[in-house]
Structure formats: structure tokens, C-alpha cells
């Protein structure tokens, strides 16, 4: 039985004969994460360095995932302890933080024009 998984929310399987991961339609998953298919949830492509398009680069984060509509999102902080690395953060809390940061940047831009 072939190994199964997901790439940005798209079903995939491991092709043992070829030694590559393939999407469910048989197309090989690119080895460069930035070239993978867009997120199954929001439709945004990955950033050039492979971050989820909807999250982008988050300073101080070792890895993060939005969940792509099929799993819970999570953040792994660079400064976290081994126990903290196992903690998963709900996607809503991630997006709330991102939305708050965008609002603050927008607000500072408006104040700077006054």
C-alpha cells in the first residue's frame, strides 16, 4: 500500500517505483515547495521561499501552516522549547494575529499622512 499525504491541501501518494510524491491525478509534486500547487482553501500560491501564501513570512517562526482547509493550522516558534514545539495553534488565532498586524500597519500609514 502506497503512503498517502497532502501537499497544501491536495491529496497525494508516494510512487514507490519512481521514488517521488504525486498528486492524486498522477502529476509529480515539485521538489521546490515554492512551485507546489496553490492552497486548496484560499487558492493563493506559496511564496518564493515556500511559505503559505495566506500567512507569508512571520518573523520569529520556524514553520507554520494554515491547514489548507483540511487540517488545523499551526505555528512553531524559533525560540520555543521542545514541549512548546508540539503545541498547535488554531488557525483562527493565527489569522487574528495577522489581521491585527495588517491593521496596525495600515493605521500607522494613515497617521503618517496626517
Place of cell 515556500: 50
pLDDT band at 85 (very low <50, low <70, confident <90, very high): very low
Cell of 9: 491541501
How many percent of the chain have pLDDT more than 70?
Answer: 76
CB-based burial label for 89 (10 Å; 0-12, 13-18, 19+): middle
Task: Give backbone dihedrals phi and psi of 5, rounded to 5 degrees, phi first.
Answer: -165, -165
Place of cell 509534486: 29
Q: Decide if pLDDT at 94 tops 50.
A: yes
Task: Give backbone dihedrals phi and psi of 89, rounded to 5 degrees, phi first.
Answer: -100, 135
pLDDT of residue 12: 95
How many percent of the chain have pLDDT more than 90?
Answer: 34
Q: Domains of the chain: which residue ranges?
A: 4-113
pLDDT band at 95 (very low <50, low <70, confident <90, very high): low
Average pLDDT value over all residues in the chain: 82
Q: Decide if pLDDT at 52 tops 80.
A: yes
pTM for this one?
0.62
Amino acid at each position: 500500500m502506497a503512503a498517502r499525504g497532502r501537499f497544501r491541501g491536495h491529496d497525494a501518494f508516494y510512487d514507490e517505483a519512481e521514488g517521488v510524491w504525486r498528486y492524486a491525478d498522477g502529476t509529480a509534486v515539485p521538489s521546490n515547495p515554492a512551485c507546489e500547487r496553490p492552497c486548496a482553501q484560499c487558492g493563493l500560491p506559496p511564496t518564493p521561499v515556500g511559505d503559505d501564501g495566506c500567512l507569508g513570512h512571520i518573523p520569529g517562526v520556524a514553520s507554520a501552516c494554515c491547514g489548507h482547509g483540511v487540517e488545523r493550522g499551526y505555528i512553531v516558534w524559533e525560540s520555543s522549547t521542545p514541549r512548546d514545539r508540539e503545541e498547535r495553534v488554531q488557525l483562527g488565532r493565527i489569522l487574528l494575529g495577522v489581521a491585527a498586524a495588517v491593521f496596525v500597519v495600515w493605521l500607522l500609514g494613515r497617521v503618517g499622512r496626517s
